[in-house]
Structure 1
Amino acid sequence: MRRGTRYGVLLGPLLAGGAPPDLVRRAARGLGLPERGAYAVVVLAGSVPEAAVAEGPDADGTRWRWCGPGDGAGDVAVVLLGAAGPPGALARLGKHGAGPGGMSPVVGSLAELGAARRLAGTALLTCAPGTREVVRLDERLPTALLVSRPELSARLLAEVFGPLLALVPAERAVLVGTLEAWLECGGSMGRAAVRLRCHRNTVFNRLRRLERLTARSLSRPRELVDLVLALDVLRLSSAPP
């Protein structure tokens, strides 16, 4: 039976939140799941491969209950986590090419699925356009704060990266790519140069120019936070860097 047709009626009220205790108990029986346990909600955008939607149990005991699309998103899964925890569930989704998607923090009961559903939706919003990643909210909290307040995100981007965004796209992409590489290499000029296949001094000069344009220093922690958050906003933008 196609996902969503079997469990949608039972999962719908739980995912909406505020279900009374007697409804939670009836839903638990109908779903074949315990009222209390280590649960997470996954929200996926777009179509999901059939191979990804088996109910389980998986090898580690993880069990899945799928619900059809809702709120403009793709399929939603309630996951009773097994021994491998959230990483195990994410590995299964990645193996089958499901995504982009977001996973909620772990909650302790079916009665908490409403809040988990909302947080999973927020996690989905932190996925960059065009990616197939499925991400945990707990690993994207700063970015989740940004997507939760789009008007402030837009202001942050304009305030921090305004002069950078005024450059021609190719020039801007070089500076943004250098900053990304430097951050991914733990602030090492040498490692960033190897990744970018250029001289260490080239990385240094690009980053100094970026500092001048943004009026922020990579060596000052608070100003570095501004740059990292603005970079996240730019990454989530539909426009290329």
Structure 2
Amino acid sequence: MRRGTRYGALLGPLLAGGARPDLVERAARGLGLPERGRYAVVVLGAPVPEGAVVEGPDVDGARWWWGGADGSPGGAEGRGEGREESREVAVVLLGPAGPDRAVARLRELGAGPGGVSPVVGSPAEVAAAHRLAGTALLTCEPGSREIVRLDERLPAALLVSRPELSTRLLAEVFGPLLTLVPAERSLLVETLEAWLECGGSVGRAAARLGCHRNTVFNRLRRLERLTARSLSRPRELVDLVLALDVLRLSSAPAGPGGGG
């Protein structure tokens, strides 16, 4: 991974978007970026960890160019307010293992939270990749150390890209749930999350939560009554899953866990 003020200045035209093609070409030449290649952009929501910035390719043959603080607004219409001041950005010429290895490398270094763009094929496409990496970052849970690829978070990315609709969705689907005391709300949310992660199996969710399967069943029925949506109807289940994503990404936590 490479970093320095010279790289930051050269990366500017590539990352900002709207730069003249000749400036993009000149910047790519100055950085040594091939005209065609497999590129991704990384946007971190915290400073680059110690030891992350080294000269030369990494063990996978990927080459990294760090540009320092990222002054972009994140492209999410204000969704990330207060979360962009400490951003750092890198352009990665991927090695044979592709973006999965780049994600693994960042996790090994303790970086995060961070978003990784889809793969693009030229320096001219880096600006679009930068915007998408910033959107991927916004799908990370507040306070987490996640490193996520946009392609793994597309529904959540749609939500953070339209915050006014996300707020409306949360109120419409989870409105009655949000009026519960935090302990009750947290218990129902935790049960729904466990049920989803267990592929809709009440028995497996009960084992994960350490309670009887009837307890899980009763909690899920209560959640259905509160939201007026059925877990057995696919379209209504989509509403619940998307609302759960909005709640996860909200700055207001679900509340401390409680017994029940």
Instruction: Answer yes or no: is the 8 Å Cα contact 1:55–1:65 preserved in 2.
Output: no
- Counterpart-to-counterpart distance in 1, 2:132 and 2:111: 19
How many residue pairs get aligned? The number is: 240
Shift of 1:107: 0.5
Instruction: Answer yes or no: is the 8 Å Cα contact 2:13–2:27 preserved in 1.
Output: no
Question: Which aligned runs of 4 or more in structure 1 are off by greater than 4 angstroms?
Answer: none
Q: Is 1:132 equivalent to 2:164 in the alignment?
A: no
| Deviation larger for 10-19 or 215-224 | 10-19
**Cα displacement string for residues 53-110 of structure 1 (whole angstroms, at most 9, x for unaligned residues):** 2244122211100001122341100000111111000000000111101111111000
Tell me what 2:220 maps to. 207
The CA RMSD measured in Å over matched residues stands at 1.2
**Cα displacement string for residues 158-201 of structure 1 (whole angstroms, at most 9, x for unaligned residues):** 00000000000000000000000000111111110110000011
Q: Is 1:69 equivalent to 2:82 in the alignment?
A: no
> TM-score scaled by structure 2?
0.89
Instruction: Answer yes or no: is the 8 Å Cα contact 2:192–2:220 preserved in 1.
Output: yes
Q: Is 1:47 equivalent to 2:60 in the alignment?
A: no
Instruction: Answer yes or no: is the 8 Å Cα contact 1:24–1:35 preserved in 2.
Output: no
Equivalent runs, 1:55-134 vs 2, <5 Å: 55-71=55-71, 72-134=85-147
Percent identity over the alignment?
A: 81
Instruction: Answer yes or no: is the 8 Å Cα contact 2:177–2:223 preserved in 1.
Output: yes
Instruction: Answer yes or no: is the 8 Å Cα contact 1:160–1:214 preserved in 2.
Output: yes
Kindly indicate which of the two structures has a greater share of residues assigned to helix.
1
- Counterpart-to-counterpart distance in 1, 2:162 and 2:12: 27
Could you say if the C-alpha distance between residues 212 and 101 of structure 1 is closer, same or farther in structure 2, counting changes exceeding 3 Å? same
**Cα displacement string for residues 189-238 of structure 1 (whole angstroms, at most 9, x for unaligned residues):** 11101100000111000000000000000000000000000000000011
> TM-score scaled by structure 1?
0.96
Structure 2 SS opposite 1:50: coil
- What amino acid maps onto 1:171 in structure 2? E
Tell me what 2:78 maps to. none
- What amino acid maps onto 1:126 in structure 2? T
| Deviation larger for 138-147 or 65-74 | 65-74
Instruction: Answer yes or no: is the 8 Å Cα contact 1:44–1:76 preserved in 2.
Output: yes
Tell me what 1:152 maps to. 165
Gaps of 5+ in 1: none
Could you say if the C-alpha distance between residues 97 and 144 of structure 1 is closer, same or farther in structure 2, counting changes exceeding 3 Å? same
- What amino acid maps onto 2:69 in structure 1? P
Gaps of 5+ in 2: 72-84, 255-260
Tell me what 2:30 maps to. 30
- Counterpart-to-counterpart distance in 1, 2:4 and 2:68: 4
- Counterpart-to-counterpart distance in 2, 1:43 and 1:143: 17
| Deviation larger for 26-35 or 128-137 | 26-35
Shift of 1:22: 2.8
